[in-house]
Structure 1
Amino acid sequence: MLLTSRRGLLAASATGLLAGKSALAQPALPANWPDRPIRIIVPYAAGGITDVISRGMAVGLQGTLGQPVVVENRPGANGTVGTLVAARAPADGTTLTMGITDTFAINRSTFRSLPYSDENDFVPISMVTRVPFALMVGAHRREITDYASFIREARREAGRLSHASWGVGSSSHLAFEFVARAERFEKLHVPFAAQAPGMQAVASGQVDSMMLPVGGANSLAVDNRARILALAHPTRIELTPNVPTLTELGVPLATGLWLALYAPARTPAPIIARLNAAVREGMRNEQTQAVFRQQAGAAEPSTPEELAAFAARERVQWAQLVNEKNIRVE
């Protein structure tokens, strides 16, 4: 849940050398691998940050692996539909999925019956990037000019101020719940099927506010269709230098969305190693880096073991908030 430093991520696991030794016993990587196109399943609709980052990453991987890398959107049920498709794909390294906070940390707590196991049905490849959340309000709420006036109006309206998310129990929903709990106000939750429809609802004045990745919020702010009130990040960032952090405003929330590549379980270790190396090399692609920068992210490659340890900690932290708020998806 918390956005930790790169150093903290690297310190999360010291098992890389052991994994390297075990990999020596694995069959060698086929000389011609990959010999066919690779697909990245995105379990959300086009236009959201998971889709945008995946397409940026596909550019880098394609140049590194020498095969077309295509993005396939399979949205539904807060990422469970597409993630299940990826879990059932052949374990040959040609089908990957872009896992995010929701699909690999939160859903196991919010869904009473999750159709996949984020631990047993997948093997981690590498962290890709992490982006902070921003709290934004639609331009139609002219009386809300900053965070203080947002809280004032939220308390005054007592459950009528609406906020969008990309689904019940999503990271967008839970991050807003944290702020509402900290500031002691009631609100009206309006869940959508994806990030983009929620953004459009705020921009058109149908919904008042939303917690979402700062890149998406900034795309509306620059067009004067929304205002960014606060950033859920430890420090201010270059993309929005004048936006205060929630920590500055007295709310100890530093969170956002992390994105990482996974393959189906039983994918051979040599293929995972090759994919990990390809991710690291592909992240050097300038077009890929430009996509990350537009979303206020940066390339954050990791070992598979580091990603596994990070995701395990995330599951524990998000489960605490889910259980406290008793948020469940039937």
Structure 2
Amino acid sequence: MSTSTRRLFLAGATATLALPRLAAAQQAAGLPAGWPDRPIRIIVPYSAGGITDVISRGVAIGLQAALGQPVVVDNRPGANGTIGTTAAARAPADGTTLTMGITDTFAINRSTFPSLPYNDEGDFAPISMVTRVPFALMIGAHRREITDFASFVREAQREAGRLSHASWGVGSSSHLAFEFIARSQRFEKLHVPFAAQAPGMQAVASGQVDSMMLPVGGAESLARDNRAHIIALAHPQRIDLTPGVPTLGELGVPLSTGLWLALYAPARTPPAIVARLNEAVRSAVRHEQTLAVFRQQAGTPEPSTPEELAAFVRAEREQWGQLVREKGIRVAA
């Protein structure tokens, strides 16, 4: 037997001997033997190209490395994220189907929909927070007279309901963040909702709509191509991705908000699997390729315990619900 053949034989023998120990360790932790034994699916309740899709694909890379199984993204867009989120709620509770929950689907929709086809608490087991990305106020390049926040407010007040703003749906976080600015600066506006982030961005870039509140990574991509410009950040401090852009706080508007993203499994997923997934997320969000995706969106890793995520989202529901009630925003049945 050659040296190389002997090495391969010994490596294979060692791996074979390790399998029973691995199975025993999984059983001791309460995990099914060999779990996960097939690919993991992340249902994204929005179309490809938006922030939820981009972050989910970045996280999938890290999860695949942590779990040793392929992790695929399954886009199920529609109805402010309710179609995909409902599909995730009804998936088998075996830890192989997850969903990327966001501010809209887990904190806002219950206040804006007269009847929600899923229960954002009862139908899901929280796994971990993933990241948060700040919002930016973006103005289309066709509005040359708007060069900063002061001129934006001036034009919005002068036009009295004609300045238009895009969002990815009535009652979305993009819509509500803009409502907050309009309320604080006392101007009326024209809301133009789209089915997803990407078409709203394109409408602003093409001059069909004047403005949009959206994750800063998407806004920066249009500003880089001179199709739009960013006049303010809804963030506590300025960020490297958009040098020179002031925060809304600096401009006298007390708004610091954005989109948070977190992973959930269907309710009744065994606690041992939830714990293993939480461990995998903590590893995934520090994977080199996942971090590169976060940086492009001005996001940072923010893993949490399931309990921390649940408490955070309860507070978010109350905060957003209050704004929805004040503005009387409802999604048509």
TM-score where L is the length of structure 1? 0.92
Using the TM superposition, give the Cα deviation of residue 27 of structure 1 relative to its aligned residue in structure 2, in angstroms.
7.5
Match of 2:229 among 221, 227, 230: 227
Unaligned ranges ≥5, structure 2: 1-27
Match of 1:189 among 191, 201, 204: 191
Name the CA distance, whole Å, in 1 between partners of 2:108 and 2:138.
23
Name the CA distance, whole Å, in 2 between partners of 1:257 and 1:34.
30
Name the CA distance, whole Å, in 2 between partners of 1:318 and 1:153.
28
The equivalent residue for 1:255 is 257
**Matches for 1:1-330 after TM superposition, within 5 Å:** 28-330=30-332
The equivalent residue for 2:15 is none
Q: Secondary structure, in 3 states, of the residue corresponding to 2:301? A: coil
Q: Kindly provide the amino acid, as one letter, of the partner of residue 88 in structure 2.
A: A
Q: Secondary structure, in 3 states, of the residue corresponding to 1:79? A: helix
How high is the sequence identity, in percent, across the aligned residues? 83
> Relative contact order, CA 8 A, sep 6+: which one is greater?
1
Name the CA distance, whole Å, in 2 between partners of 1:277 and 1:103.
24
Name the CA distance, whole Å, in 2 between partners of 1:309 and 1:327.
25
Using the TM superposition, give the Cα deviation of residue 246 of structure 1 relative to its aligned residue in structure 2, in angstroms.
0.4
Name the CA distance, whole Å, in 2 between partners of 1:240 and 1:210.
16
The equivalent residue for 2:17 is none
Question: How many residues are aligned here?
Answer: 306
Using the TM superposition, give the Cα deviation of residue 148 of structure 1 relative to its aligned residue in structure 2, in angstroms.
0.6
Q: Secondary structure, in 3 states, of the residue corresponding to 2:161? A: coil
Structure with greater helix share of residues: 2
Q: Which digits, 9 at most, give the CA deviation of each residue in 1:34-55, with x for residues without a partner? A: 0010100000000000000000
Q: Kindly provide the amino acid, as one letter, of the partner of residue 180 in structure 2.
A: F
Using the TM superposition, give the Cα deviation of residue 241 of structure 1 relative to its aligned residue in structure 2, in angstroms.
2.4
Using the TM superposition, give the Cα deviation of residue 28 of structure 1 relative to its aligned residue in structure 2, in angstroms.
1.1
Name the CA distance, whole Å, in 2 between partners of 1:195 and 1:70.
21
Q: Kindly provide the amino acid, as one letter, of the partner of residue 105 in structure 2.
A: T
TM-score where L is the length of structure 2? 0.91
Q: Which digits, 9 at most, give the CA deviation of each residue in 1:91-146, with x for residues without a partner? A: 00000000000000000000000000000000100000001100000000011111
Name the CA distance, whole Å, in 2 between partners of 1:244 and 1:31.
53
Using the TM superposition, give the Cα deviation of residue 282 of structure 1 relative to its aligned residue in structure 2, in angstroms.
1.3
Q: CA RMSD in A?
A: 1.1
Using the TM superposition, give the Cα deviation of residue 31 of structure 1 relative to its aligned residue in structure 2, in angstroms.
2.7
Using the TM superposition, give the Cα deviation of residue 284 of structure 1 relative to its aligned residue in structure 2, in angstroms.
1.8
Q: Which digits, 9 at most, give the CA deviation of each residue in 1:158-212, with x for residues without a partner? A: 0000000000000000000000000000000000000000000000000000000
Larger radius of gyration: 2
